[in-house]
Amino acid sequence: MQLGFVGLGKMGGNMVHRIHRDSDHTVVAFDFSEEAVKAAEDNGTTGASSLEDLVSKIEAPRTVWIMVPAGEPTQSTVDQLAELLDPGDAIVDGGNSKWTDDLRRADELRDKGIHYVDVGVSGGVWGLEGGYCMMVGGPREAVDRLAPVLDVLAPPPSEEWGPGWGHMGDTGAGHYVKMVHNGVEYGIMQAYAEGFSLFDKSDFGLDNEQIAKLWMQGSVVRSWLCELAARAFEQEGNDLAGIKGWVADSGEGRWTVEDAIEKSVPAPVITASLFTRFESRDEGEYGARVLAALRNQFGGHAVERAG
């Protein structure tokens, strides 16, 4: 399969690399960073100098995957591609767009005969090796055409859990499931942060790195986030002194809380974890440093350094 790809940042660059490394599919990629395009070319990608150049190098019916920040960068890219693509082509948004934006874009593109697929992607900077969990929304025809690429990007199918990607339903369903996924992630991270904060202030001189690694050995609270906490303590020290306790939020937690309010669904854990991130920007206690360290570990998100 031939795929167009726009956006070669931390995740996008690794996704293109994985496609070329693990399959015979070909990718034509564009990014405003010439250095990022060159790195992708070194991994087998055909570089493009513009969106027009990218579209010209792909055979119809075209599929173009967008991996740029949500909001205006994604909207601008969709608008430009809509003027370049033909009926039967497809645009795939693999960023963290709000699902209501997906519905609007799909309606606008439908008038042009262009398919729109939304893919919520989880896996962070580790996806190159481990694969990406992908939650997909959109018309069956376009999803089926994209499936060979999704199969490569996803982890190998598990006999117990099934495939590493799934078609969630109509347009918007993929990003909706990813939104709630991130809300749940907020709550789990907050629970770890509170637990390790208690250990940090205990009278026993506890070793958070040792505890996190121990919990990975058969404990009911073992998880990838627990493993990443252990890595963070190992790399940064138990006091995480080099990390400022300032925790960003990228939007999905807010949207999850908004949707919970709209649907009258109690979500106290997710809501409280979101508000704790707001509070971190004023106080920066130990738990906030744990949260910042975890975001850095799984997503490569920047941390503010203390001092």
DSSP state at residue 247: -
Report which residue type is found at 81: L
Query: Would you say 196 and 287 are in contact if contact means Cβ atoms under 8 Å apart?
Result: yes
Is position 178 annotated as part of the catalytic site?
yes
Choosing from 35, 59, 112, 185, the catalytic residue is 185
Which DSSP helix (H) or strand (E) runs through 40?
A: helix 34-42
Is position 185 annotated as part of the catalytic site?
yes
Report which residue type is found at 146: L
How far, in whole angstroms, is CA 21 from its chain's centroid?
A: 21
Crossing angle between the packed helical segments 173-201 and 224-236, to the nearest 10 degrees = 50
Choosing from 10, 141, 178, 209, the catalytic residue is 178
DSSP letter for each residue of 66-120: E-S-TTHHHHHHHHHHHHH--TT-EEEE-S---HHHHHHHHHHHHTTT-EEEEEE
SS3 content of the chain, % helix, strand, coil (to 5): 55, 15, 35
**Catalytic residue positions, numbered:** 178, 185
